[in-house]
Amino acid sequence: MTMIGTTMAPAAKGQVLRRFLRHRLAVLSAVILGLLILFAMSASLVEALLGIDADAVDLFARYSPPTSQHLLGTDELGRDILVRLMYGGQVSLMVGLTATIAAAVIGTTIGIISGYVGGRTDAFVMRVTDGVIALPLLPLLIVLAAIDLNKLGIPESIVSSEDVSLYRIIVIVALAGWTTVARLVRASTLSIKTRPFVMAAQAQGATAFRIMTVHILPNLMSPIIVATTLSVGNVILLESVLSFLGLGIQPPLPSWGNLLTGAQETIWESPGLAFFPGMLIFVTVIAFNFIGDGLQDALDPRADDRR
């Protein structure tokens, strides 16, 4: 018996690429996103070339206008705006990508098990999923972000770490954001598990784990990729909102969200402090959304190749 392949053939990959390239906004967004990533990753290089320290405080240079050394000027503490934006981009992009991937892994695991096992397990998991979805997301994240880590038994060395707020946001968003992928994967699994190639694998004595990972999971990659890409922008927005409220990434570690927080008191003295991080957040979120739309069209097997 010939079984349906679980990987995309080279011709199909070329077809997907052609469809994606026809989506002009998605291609433009991919280029812009690549430039933003390059911009963020070049922070140390730019810092060295300009001969400055992004964390160095110089109160005599507060709100300095753009110069050859400070290309976008300085903030309320005399720190270079450009380099802090670049380091903030590293944090915001890392949180967005890492938290989204972690949520996708959790949601995929829960969804595929729920859909394949079915019965009471499926009913229980879906009721839990519905309960999480019913909770208002932003208040839930605010409550989780405000939890005292010392009371959770976490060692003091970790709680007092400079990067603990970064890890906290990633964990919180991942724990709250898995539901969309879980429901999508569960629905697709219910359909795929009744197909002939899965039934053939069951007849040959394949274990449930092998069927889920080798035969079902590869056929779920397209919707998972699309859902994950579309979620990155939302995660970056959530991180920015929490940081703006003082519950996200904590100074001195910069992120685009807490750079906005620092700018709200000085927006009249230096509007650029709010404009630059706000614009970077806006462009990044829009870029991820357009890329998600392009991938959705490209990976849709029903798409008309003649368009």
Tell me the Cα Rg of the chain. Answer: 23
Query: What percent of the chain stands above pLDDT 70?
Result: 93
The answer to whether position 33 is within a domain reads no
Q: How many domains does the chain have?
A: 1
Q: What is the pLDDT of residues 72-128, one digit of tens each?
A: 888 888 888 899 999 999 988 998 899 999 999 999 999 999 999 888 988 999 999
CATH number, domain containing residue 284: 1.10.3720.10
Burial class (CB in 10 A: 0-12, 13-18, 19+), 11: exposed
Query: What percent of the chain stands above pLDDT 90?
Result: 17
Q: Please tell me the distance from the alpha carbon of residue 189 to that of residue 65, in angstroms, as a whole number.
A: 57
- Give the residue from 129, 236, 237, 137 showing the smallest Cα distance to 184: 129
Contact partners, residue 166, CB within 8 Å, separation at least 6 = 91, 94, 95, 249, 253
Which neighbouring-strand residues pair with 80?
74
The answer to whether position 168 is within a domain reads yes
Which range of residues forms the domain containing residue 210? 85-298
Q: What is the pLDDT of residues 47-68, one digit of tens each?
A: 888 888 888 888 887 888 888 8
Please state the separation of Cα 99 from the chain's center in Å.
Answer: 5
Q: What is the predicted pLDDT for the residue at 9? A: 46
pLDDT higher than threshold 60 for residue 304:
no
The answer to whether position 49 is within a domain reads no
Q: Please tell me the distance from the alpha carbon of residue 32 to that of residue 7, in angstroms, as a whole number.
A: 30
The answer to whether position 174 is within a domain reads yes
The answer to whether position 91 is within a domain reads yes
The answer to whether position 29 is within a domain reads no
